[in-house]
Amino acid sequence: MSGGPAAAGSGTDVGLSVLVTASAALCAGAETWLVAGRDRGLRRARTLFPGLPGEAAEPPLSAERVLPVLKQWAGGRREWLCLPMAVVFAVWGQSLLPLIAGAVAVPLVRRWLRRRNLKRERELRADEVMALCGAVVGELRSGHEPGQALLVGARETGALGGAEAAVLAAAQFGGDVPWALRQAARESGLEGLAGVAACWRVAVDGGAGLATGLDRLESALRKERRRREELRAQLAGAWSTVVVLASLPVVGLLLGAALGADPLRVLLHTPGGLLCLATGAVLEAVGLFWAARIVRSGEAA
């Protein structure tokens, strides 16, 4: 009878020591990789610029030097923050399951961040199209020809994306500008250029004022942007509800730990706890997907 608790305690200590050793090895490997990369960069710089000194004294570390590097790293690799959180829960619960969950969460978070960045870039491109319309209208009303006005507006706003060279060449050398604009409108966020192409075609074929058409197009694009912002503000409450509901399991774990119930030991080291953990994870994922789909359907409508 006395051997059971001792054996369990020794097994827990061994698992904890293995986890701590693995974390230390991971940190040491990361430090070695960073130092090796720095040495390769220094050798490459000395090869390209022989006049550089061989051993330069490095200034001491300071907050002014460290904080920008940390912000840059966190801004480009925010999905890797799942691993330190997983290590904390793994040490707390004395189990490797949080580490596995953290490793699985990294690509999922990366995909979510990529989709959010693409959406932000799409909105920025739509704003550039509106700025292009305003710039071209200003150039036309100041007396410039349509082709020259498009050249100036495109260079000021950079709103043509990857098709900028084709559009500018068509505008400068008398090519098919509407066709080039429609090709550029295929890129995400540049759909407003199809309206610019239609205004250009009407102005060339029918003799209507290009400045008037682009001015109306800019007003329409701005109204559409305001409608999207109003809809997003109305859906902010729904997104807040989704975030609160998704964080309730973590809050429950913290409350249980504060009350001395040790919920992670039950969830990670007992068959019933593992079954509850798997069921809860599935229900959490399904609930998040369902709620996010409802909110996105409202945004799309």
pLDDT, tens digit (0-9, with 9 covering 90-100), for 172-184: 887 888 888 888 8
- The answer as to whether 205 is a domain residue is yes
Confidence at 148, pLDDT banded by 50, 70, 90: confident
What is d(CA 56, CA 53) in angstroms, rounded to the nearest whole number?
6
Q: What is the mean pLDDT of residues 238-252?
A: 85
Return all residues near 174 (Cβ < 8 A) that are at least 6 apart.
147
Q: What is the mean pLDDT of residues 253-276?
A: 87
Nearest to 140 by CA among 127, 130, 153: 153
Nearest to 37 by CA among 25, 27, 29: 29
Confidence at 275, pLDDT banded by 50, 70, 90: very high
Confidence at 32, pLDDT banded by 50, 70, 90: low
- The answer as to whether 135 is a domain residue is yes
Furthest-apart CA atoms within the chain: distance in Å: 99
pLDDT at residue 287 greater than cutoff 90: no
Residue-wise pLDDT tens digits, 73-109: 555 577 788 888 888 888 888 888 888 888 888 888 8
Q: Helix or strand or coil: residue 54?
A: coil
pLDDT at residue 40 greater than cutoff 70: no
Q: Residues of the chain with pLDDT > 90: what percent?
A: 3
In this structure, is the dihedral angle defined by the CA atoms of residues 8, 14, 17 and 19, taken in order, positive or negative? negative
Q: What is the mean pLDDT of residues 249-274?
A: 87
pLDDT at residue 43 greater than cutoff 80: no
Q: Quick one: tokens of 290? A: 């369902």
Q: What is the mean pLDDT of residues 48-58?
A: 47
Number of compact structural domains in the chain? 1
**What pLDDT was estimated at residue 290?**
87
**Domain residues for 130?**
121-220
What is d(CA 153, CA 16) in angstroms, rounded to the nearest whole number?
63
Report CA-CA distances (Å) from 260 to 90, 94, 97, 273: 18, 16, 22, 17
**What pLDDT was estimated at residue 279?**
92
Q: What is the mean pLDDT of residues 28-49?
A: 50
What is d(CA 145, CA 166) in angstroms, rounded to the nearest whole number?
18
- The answer as to whether 66 is a domain residue is no
What is d(CA 242, CA 291) in angstroms, rounded to the nearest whole number?
7
- The answer as to whether 206 is a domain residue is yes
**What pLDDT was estimated at residue 95?**
85
Return all residues near 64 (Cβ < 8 A) that are at least 6 apart.
none
What is d(CA 244, CA 241) in angstroms, rounded to the nearest whole number?
5
- The answer as to whether 297 is a domain residue is no
Q: Helix or strand or coil: residue 53?
A: coil
- The answer as to whether 262 is a domain residue is no
- The answer as to whether 168 is a domain residue is yes
Dump strand ranges (E) for the chain.
Answer: none
pLDDT at residue 141 greater than cutoff 80: yes
What is d(CA 11, CA 301) in angstroms, rounded to the nearest whole number?
56
Lowest-confidence range among 2-16, 122-136, 212-226?
2-16
- The answer as to whether 128 is a domain residue is yes
